[in-house]
Structure 1
Amino acid sequence: MQPLIPATRDVVLIGGGHAHALVLRRWGMRPLPGARLTLINPHPTAPYSGMLPGHIAGHYDRAALEIDLVRLARHAGARLILGRAEGIDRAARTVHVPGRPPVAYDVASIDIGITTEMPELEGFAAHGAPAKPMDDFAARWGAFTALAARGEVAAQVVVLGSGIAGVELALAAAHRLRQVGITDPQVTIVERAPEALPNIGKGARSALLRHLAEARVTLITDAVAKTATAEGLRLADGRLIPAAFQLGAAGARPQGWLADTGLELHEGYVSVGPTLQSLTDPAIFAVGDCAHLSHAPRPKAGVFAVREAPVLYHNLRAALGAGDLRPYRPQRDYLKLVSTGFRGAVADKAGLRLGGRWLWRWKDRIDRKFMRKFHDLPAMPRPPLPREVAAGVAEELADGKPLCGGCGAKVGPGALFAALAGLPGPQRADTLSGPGDDAAVLTHGDGVQVITTDHLRAFTEDPWLMAQITAIHALGDIWAMGAAPQAALAQITLPRLSPDLQARTLAEIMAAAESVFRAAGADLVGGHTSVGSELTLGFTLTGLAPRATAKGGARPGDLLILTKPLGTGTILAAEMARAAPGRAVAACFASQSRPLSADAAILAPEAHAMTDVTGFGLAGHLFEILDASACAAKLDLAQIPFIEGAADLAGRGHRSTLYPANRRAATRMAVPDGPEPDLLFDPQTAGGLLAAVPGPRAQALCAALRDAGAHAAVIGEVTEGFPWIDVT
């Protein structure tokens, strides 16, 4: 058997720009053994700039131009940190990301693009929309066009800047507004210089100015913007240009935090040499618009980022000890394809000009071919089975799906209950409950102490996020019993790592866990570590309460409240198969990362019965309440909340490893077919609380939960009868 190769070096990619996206794609096909890869980006997707004008014009939906960084990170075996880098400590070799401990690196690369935010323009931060970064801009434009189409806002757009980007976006905006039924949109370009389109050939410039005139886009030059207001853009000469949408496409500038890194900069951009390494620090690379090619200065254009990618991939490996560095030699000129809004384009290179619809079709083919690199990631073949294996092995692996992490990796309820059935009841007088409740209950002074343990196989490459979610998940049993968390012990199995990476990983895990426990009022007092084949985290916890809120006690007439949406198991299973949209995964992590302390404080004083919804799914944990209370229940499927994207993934056949066992165990149910009913059996990691509360109090409790940030809903009622669940 080949030995497990330990990770020994950390490579951190800061930003999800085009070059980094291409590096991730190559890395997935040919990783460097021993290197641990991390990507830091504020959003789970990154837009492709070449298709943004087409999106603004309505030719592409948003999915067409988005690179899904969650899928790409899974393909590359990288961890994705959803956060915005705001600094680098080069002495400590760490990257600062607000809200979490510093992220350590041995080699780092920066590809964060530029911004068209305009801090010098009064009011722009409140009333303007910078074209870059593109994620927020695309979302705001979509909302504006919807409002304009309904007549709720005026179809008035001001574009600040008459460079190629400003003209292209103005033409796209005018076309889109006409497409949604507005016959005479008012689109105005404001330029402080005496002439528009300064960095393009004369022929292409003349053609684009003609297109502006034909689209009835107003061009105002020699105009200085003074103030952005809710009514529009006020110029220095006192004129007001009415606008409901103010788009910043001028004054492209580097991200401000680069100035504090101590790296050599040129006009705020990181100066790099032929190998794309910083002139100051060879451990840091920079590419794309945020970099200045000191050996061969070039304008800011995506074509250079794309062509830097193979060199960056090679040189990152070389910086980690795999080969020699290679120089990047940029082309002297490049073809500029400028779309004109109506599925036409103008081309400019070396002063020559071409134009027409055929050129747009050519551009469209180029752009779609580029995006197919990310939408159709190459499948990596599974290692073949040995020639001879024991009977049953092939059948167990027939579906080809990876084993889920989190609660999806737990033993099914049938096998677990059969094992627990052989255990004797409590033998000690101070042990008040045996196997089967959320936590063991012990006498403690005038009240009780509860004790529980839980652990999870990792479902994310990010140990900090995994520790945070695992801590919240383990606390769920304490909160479900209505207890105040008291103390925690950690059980950590690390994959094989070098001593330096062990220390970094443990520091992240302990920082995340300690933060969760401290906020919950508990102390993290120690634990145990070991080394294994994969990351596994667990916590043993105690809590104190005057009395324990058990699963038994639900009464006919009680209403059922659920405090988190369902779908984590399905989303995580689909993510492992590289099929879950990045936004769905981000929503899943956000739901899992919300603690239940406020939920428990609201529900415990009034709940007749309560549990947390985890591995056995909503149906399985509701049956625990019903069996303990000798009652039945009715669920209203329309009222049950689901995480965005979960039902769609379930409808496409994605299932957690534990789903079949959960479904087989829930035999006493009348449930319709469909993806939403299937999610009732979906194992939930760090799921919500499920409480049976007095009917007259349910709506007030639910309102209080929503005020506290819970995605809470009244999902059904407890009824008389043999334990049974009707779903309608």
Structure 2
Amino acid sequence: MNTPPLPRTRDLVLIGGGHTHALVLRKWGMMPLAGVRVTVINPGPIAPYSGMLPGFVAGHYARGDLDIDLVQLARFAGARVILGEVQGIDLHRREVLVPGRPPVAFDIASVNVGITSTMPNLPGFAEHGVPAKPLGPFAARWAEYLAGEGPAQVAVIGGGVAGAELVMAMAHALRARNRMAEVALIDNLRVLGAMGDKAAARVRQAMKSLGVTLVEGTEIAQVRAEGVELADGRMIPARFVTGAAGARPYPWMADSGLATYDGFIAVDACLQTSDPAIFAAGDCAHLLDSPRPKAGVYAVREAPVLHDNLRAAFGAGNLRPYRPQRDYLKLISLGGKAALAEKWGMVFSGPLMWRWKDRIDQTFIERFRDLPRMGQPALPELHAQGLVEALGEKPLCGGCGAKVGRAALRAALAPLPGATRSDVTPLPGDDAALLTTGGVRQVMTSDHLRGLTEDPVLMTRIAAHHALGDIWAMGAEPQAATATVILPRLSPELQQRSLTEIMAAATEVMRDAGAEIVGGHSSVGDELTIGFTLTGLCQRDPITLAGGRPGDVLILTKPLGSGVLMAGEMAGQAAGADVAAAYGWMTQGQGQAAQILHGAHAMTDVTGFGLAGHLHGICEMSGTGAEIDLEAVPVMQGALELSQAGVRSSIFAENRMLVPELPATSKAALLFDPQTAGGLLAAVTPEEATPLLEQLQAAGYPAAIIGKLSEAPGLRLKS
């Protein structure tokens, strides 16, 4: 007997993807708490590991070596990811405020957003400086500067351990590239003044050997384009200025209503804030009972305590205190592959210390690279014939990857009688019909998607743009919509939260497209499904599949690859950054593209049957063939690599059968990839093709000319 999924009854929201939360998610994935829906909110899909930053800056690690992939980690933990920068918490309404989307409601929340190295009070720093934290933007800017040529001028503001590590790493990297460099470390007090004398002396010697100039005991007047101007009038020349001068909290914390200490969120021994429903950990928190410096070792060791206390907050166990160690091992990178270790006044340095530090760092990051992969459920010993084949080798995809194959659809629709009403005209091959009411012409269509992301707002935006594609493809103007929503089993409160998010997002997308939501239907099922029925007004004859002519040029407005990327995401194989970029493509509206292409002879949106299947539809209805320029077909980042690795969407095999004459290897396999909220495919005259392409690209579409229609039947690749 099948066991229905247990309903979710409470919301846990993790604000930030810092080290503590990353470890909590990993542990949650291995031991989830039934009934809790977990959400992690982070500005991007990646959480860089700061412990390896000096090694990256020095050139010992590649950029990707630092990354904790939050998209993959959240999939493992059964959590939803919301990509956005938190700007506040409403304690009264129990909501997290994220610009560009409805507020995110919570029952229990935790904050682990780290710190920033911005210097808002230092004139010129915002314009000419690069904060060392957040790490992501800094890493990108440094990589760009390091790749340049000619003499280099670098200044680091802040003479603590972080600044010293950073300046030595920069000096080493520039020396390794044989670039003449002026490198300075600036502090208004004594550099490394908080360190023990013995350790500080060794680090200062390491900086001297790398040619670093120490500028101590001097205030900074301002940062200028040509360098750092000191209060005594001196100018430290620098074309790359960064700041590592202490830890600064994010400004929204002071306005949150939570108790703070110097702007940091104050927490007790159990990591609870002044609001018992909210916890905080890592550098953004201040331990009231046992204050400690801002160091990653504390964030890591807080993770198991935070994990247990979050569960306890939902009634599963008891709160327990976090007891930080009095001192901790400090491992300081010295630029090259050497490090200094210091604890309890004992100091050791050299290559052996580097190998020790590297091993610790690699062990930490590997925790997030060896996550169990999602597989098929075990079959009962006794089962009907054909069950193995029907189940397939991989879990069912979401989005258009879960679409029923065209052969099954045609077989099911073939016996149905034709339309008998004079005011309803089916459009053969299209996903809509033409309605005539009082002389007004409308097109009507319906579409829905199985959830491909746990975030209902993102899923709604994707589903809405997907459904609008049929209206836009016929050259119609979106008019009215009804929504159909199937929610997974949730408590009434979580149902209300989810529907509020869904309808707010749906209204936003539809109104931007010129349509109004006029109603809908909701129900409860095993998983999230969102769909829309739409009408569109036709000011002219609708554009159908049947108008293509031999010689017409084919224009595609979006890249391919959403199917393979979503299949890869489900399997934990797709990079989070690639998945986030795919979400961006799937939520790009095609209304302006449709207006530009209003004179197309034939047009369709590329969705579940893939580019080859939808082009086959144009050719079939227009009585033409087609030639595809495979090299010109745009693809999403990461899609080709996944395709070459053999990742396939659920409906790939069915799509392949539609056009068996085309190859299905390497990039050609993406021709059969089902697209969710894909681009428009238009057949236009050769004379119009280039001007239309330029207009599309100017409007922000990565449009490309990908082939042409031909008199010879069938589809083929350009030789």
Give the TM-score taking structure 1 as reference length: 0.97
1:647 is the counterpart of 2:643: no
Percent identical pairs in the alignment equals: 56
1:169 is the counterpart of 2:166: yes
Task: Give the distance between the partners of 2:142 and 2:94, measured in 1 at CA.
Answer: 38
Instruction: Tell me which residue corresponds to 1:189.
Output: 185
Instruction: Tell me which residue corresponds to 1:180.
Output: 177
Task: Give the distance between the partners of 2:395 and 2:377, measured in 1 at CA.
Answer: 12
Q: How does 1:164-313 map to 2 (within 5 A)?
A: 164-182=161-179, 184-193=180-189, 195-278=190-273, 280-313=274-307
Aligned counterpart for 1:357 among listed residues 351, 362, 365:
351
Aligned counterpart for 2:629 among listed residues 633, 636, 648:
636
Instruction: Tell me which residue corresponds to 1:491.
Output: 484
1:700 is the counterpart of 2:655: no
1:7 is the counterpart of 2:3: no
Task: Give the distance between the partners of 1:715 and 1:180, measured in 2 at CA.
Answer: 42
Contact map agreement 1:473 1:687 (CA 8 A) in 2: yes
Task: Give the distance between the partners of 2:405 and 2:376, measured in 1 at CA.
Answer: 26
Contact map agreement 2:482 2:518 (CA 8 A) in 1: yes
Q: Deviation per CA, 1:368-409: give whole Å up to 9, x if none.
A: 01111001113477543222111222344452x110010000
Deviation of 1:180 after TM superposition, in Å, equals: 2.2
Instruction: Tell me which residue corresponds to 1:721.
Output: 712
Paired residue secondary structure (1:289): helix
Unpaired runs of at least 5, structure 2 = none
Paired residue secondary structure (1:653): coil
Give the TM-score taking structure 2 as reference length: 0.98
Contact map agreement 1:491 1:528 (CA 8 A) in 2: yes
Q: Deviation per CA, 1:299-319: give whole Å up to 9, x if none.
A: 000000000000000000000
Task: Give the distance between the partners of 2:389 and 2:703, measured in 1 at CA.
Answer: 41
Instruction: Tell me which residue corresponds to 2:381.
Output: 387
Aligned counterpart for 2:411 among listed residues 415, 418, 423:
418
Contact map agreement 2:86 2:97 (CA 8 A) in 1: yes
Instruction: Tell me which residue corresponds to 2:34.
Output: 33
Deviation of 1:365 after TM superposition, in Å, equals: 0.6
The amino acid that maps onto 2:185 is: I
Contact map agreement 2:659 2:715 (CA 8 A) in 1: no
Instruction: Tell me which residue corresponds to 1:682.
Output: 673
Paired residue secondary structure (2:367): helix
Q: How does 1:573-584 map to 2 (within 5 A)?
A: 573-584=567-578
Deviation of 1:491 after TM superposition, in Å, equals: 0.7
Q: Deviation per CA, 1:463-488: give whole Å up to 9, x if none.
A: 11101110000000000000000100
1:623 is the counterpart of 2:616: yes
Paired residue secondary structure (2:200): helix
Q: Deviation per CA, 1:561-589: give whole Å up to 9, x if none.
A: 11111000000000000110001000000
Q: 1:476 to 1:245 in 2, by over 3 A?
A: same
Q: Deviation per CA, 1:629-686: give whole Å up to 9, x if none.
A: 11122111121111100001111111000111101111243x4x53211001100000
Task: Give the distance between the partners of 2:97 and 2:517, measured in 1 at CA.
Answer: 25
Task: Give the distance between the partners of 1:7 and 1:242, measured in 2 at CA.
Answer: 58
Deviation of 1:420 after TM superposition, in Å, equals: 2.5
Aligned counterpart for 1:155 among listed residues 152, 162, 166:
152
Q: What is the Cα-based RMSD across aligned positions, in Å?
A: 1.3
Contact map agreement 1:630 1:723 (CA 8 A) in 2: no
Instruction: Tell me which residue corresponds to 1:558.
Output: 552
1:567 is the counterpart of 2:561: yes
Instruction: Tell me which residue corresponds to 2:592.
Output: 598
Paired residue secondary structure (1:508): helix
Paired residue secondary structure (1:471): helix
Instruction: Tell me which residue corresponds to 2:58.
Output: 57
Paired residue secondary structure (2:713): coil
Deviation of 1:698 after TM superposition, in Å, equals: 1.2
Deviation of 1:201 after TM superposition, in Å, equals: 1.4
The amino acid that maps onto 2:258 is: L
Q: Deviation per CA, 1:221-240: give whole Å up to 9, x if none.
A: 12222222222222222222
Instruction: Tell me which residue corresponds to 2:71.
Output: 70
Q: How does 1:107-126 map to 2 (within 5 A)?
A: 107-126=108-127
Task: Give the distance between the partners of 1:214 and 1:339, measured in 2 at CA.
Answer: 14
Q: How does 1:514-593 map to 2 (within 5 A)?
A: 514-546=507-539, 547-593=541-587
Contact map agreement 1:438 1:480 (CA 8 A) in 2: no
Q: Deviation per CA, 1:607-649: give whole Å up to 9, x if none.
A: 1111000000011101111111111221111211111000011
Paired residue secondary structure (1:200): coil
Task: Give the distance between the partners of 2:141 and 2:414, measured in 1 at CA.
Answer: 57
Task: Give the distance between the partners of 1:503 and 1:391, measured in 2 at CA.
Answer: 42
Instruction: Tell me which residue corresponds to 1:23.
Output: 24
Contact map agreement 1:29 1:380 (CA 8 A) in 2: no
Task: Give the distance between the partners of 2:251 and 2:313, measured in 1 at CA.
Answer: 27
Contact map agreement 1:227 1:233 (CA 8 A) in 2: yes
The amino acid that maps onto 2:243 is: G
1:667 is the counterpart of 2:660: yes
Task: Give the distance between the partners of 2:493 and 2:327, measured in 1 at CA.
Answer: 45
Deviation of 1:438 after TM superposition, in Å, equals: 2.9
1:458 is the counterpart of 2:451: yes
Instruction: Tell me which residue corresponds to 1:377.
Output: 371
Instruction: Tell me which residue corresponds to 1:317.
Output: 311
Contact map agreement 2:253 2:265 (CA 8 A) in 1: yes
Contact map agreement 1:566 1:641 (CA 8 A) in 2: yes
Unpaired runs of at least 5, structure 1 = none
Contact map agreement 1:118 1:251 (CA 8 A) in 2: no
Aligned counterpart for 1:513 among listed residues 506, 531, 539:
506
Task: Give the distance between the partners of 1:212 and 1:306, measured in 2 at CA.
Answer: 29
Instruction: Tell me which residue corresponds to 1:98.
Output: 99
Aligned counterpart for 1:476 among listed residues 454, 469, 475:
469
Deviation of 1:347 after TM superposition, in Å, equals: 1.0
Deviation of 1:241 after TM superposition, in Å, equals: 1.8
Deviation of 1:711 after TM superposition, in Å, equals: 1.3
For structure 1, which segment, 173-182 or 33-42, has the greater mean C-alpha deviation from structure 2 after superposition? 173-182
How many residues align? The count is 717
The amino acid that maps onto 1:227 is: Q
The amino acid that maps onto 2:360 is: I
Runs of 4 or more, structure 1, over 3 Å off, are 378-383, 395-398, 444-447
Q: 1:510 to 1:287 in 2, by over 3 A?
A: same
Task: Give the distance between the partners of 1:228 and 1:704, measured in 2 at CA.
Answer: 42
Paired residue secondary structure (2:144): helix
The amino acid that maps onto 1:208 is: V
The amino acid that maps onto 1:337 is: L
Deviation of 1:421 after TM superposition, in Å, equals: 2.4
Contact map agreement 1:494 1:536 (CA 8 A) in 2: yes
Paired residue secondary structure (1:710): coil
